[in-house]
Structure 1
Amino acid sequence: MQIEANSPEDYLSKIPIERRPIMEKLRAVIKANLSAEVEECINYGMIGYVIPHSVYPNGYHVNPKLPLPFMHIASQKNFIALYHSGIYMDEALMKWFVNEYPKYSKTKLDMGKSCIRFKKVDQIPFELIGALTQQMTGKEFITLYESNLNKR
């Protein structure tokens, strides 16, 4: 479910009112823990956290006009989603997150390649999300991204 929005604030104003406090808290936790080279924006119809062209001029290889996507959050129909591009590129980070999750949440981890789905939105492990955000800087992500591109 993509939301047409011009800014993160605009995005939040267009989601169901009961989801706003949760998304605002998730956004605040991520912003408080991001490295300085990562910027917040609207990207792919979600609130995005990207490496801007001022830091990584090459942009995203799929479309170099776009900044390099790092993390996203979205209010989907049946869940809130957190997308972390580094988590599926870095096996050690994935392993860390999977091992840490049960320490912070009683719910079963519902995860795809880079998508972590929170169906019980009142049980989002915000502290763990903050720790995940701190695990990788934007510059570390660029290095990881480029090493994965070179493998292709």
Structure 2
Amino acid sequence: MQSAAKTPEEYLASLPEDRKEAMEKLRDVILNNLPKGFEECMAYGMLGYVVPLSLYPAGYHCTPNTPLPFLSIASQKNFIGFYHMGMYSDKELYNWFVEEFPKHSKYKLDMGKSCVRFKKVEAIPYDLIAELVAKIAPERWIALYESQIKR
């Protein structure tokens, strides 16, 4: 479900009450742990965290005039989605997250290539998300991204 919200605040205000608190907390965790250089925005109808064009003028290869996506969060129909492109691009980071998840949650990990789905708001392991978000600085993300694109 893509939102038509123009700002992160507008997006959060539009959420149903049963999702709002968890999404606000998830946003705070991301903003408090995201390395310097990333920027928050609305991207693809979700809260997005990107490498701005001022830092990476080449932009996203699919649409070069847009910032390079890094991670997103969204309140979807049946879950809260946490999308982390670093895990998709870095097998070691992916493996670390999969290994750490059971130490932080009593729920089974529901994950695709870059999307972690939380069907219950109480299942979100905020401390683990904080640690994950802090692991990749923009420069590292650009290098990972370019290593995948230029193959």
> Counterpart of 1:50?
50
Whether 1:2 aligns to 2:11 is no
Give the structure-2-normalised TM-score. Answer: 0.98
Distance 1:13 1:4 in 2: 12
Paired with 2:139 and 2:133, the residues of 1 have a C-alpha distance of 13
Counterpart of 1:100 in structure 2 is 100
CA shift, 1:73, in A, is 0.2
Structure 2 residue matching 1:74: 3-state secondary structure? strand
How many angstroms apart in 2 are the aligned matches of 1:26 and 1:81?
11
Which residues in structure 2 correspond to 1:8-87 (within 5 Å)? Answer: 8-87=8-87
SS in structure 2 at match of 1:19: helix
Q: How many residues align?
A: 151
Secondary structure of 1:64's counterpart equals coil
The alpha carbon displacement at 1:51 in A equals 0.3
User: How many percent of aligned residue pairs carry the same amino acid?
Assistant: 56
TM-align CA RMSD: 0.6
Instruction: Say which SS state the counterpart of residue 30 (structure 1) adopts.
Output: helix
Task: Please report how far the alpha carbon of residue 44 of structure 1 lies from its aligned counterpart in structure 2 after TM superposition.
Answer: 0.2
In the alignment, does 2:146 pair up with 1:149?
A: no
Task: Report the Cα distance in structure 2 between the residues aligned to 1:89 and 1:38, rounded to whole angstroms.
Answer: 17
Name the aligned partner's letter for residue 5 of structure 2.
A
Alpha-carbon separation, structure 1, partners of 2:23 and 2:88: 23
Deviation at 1:138, TM superposition (A): 1.2
Residue 134 (structure 2) pairs with residue 134 (structure 1): yes
Structure 1 stretches lacking a partner, 5+ long: none
Normalising to structure 1: TM-score of the pair?
0.98
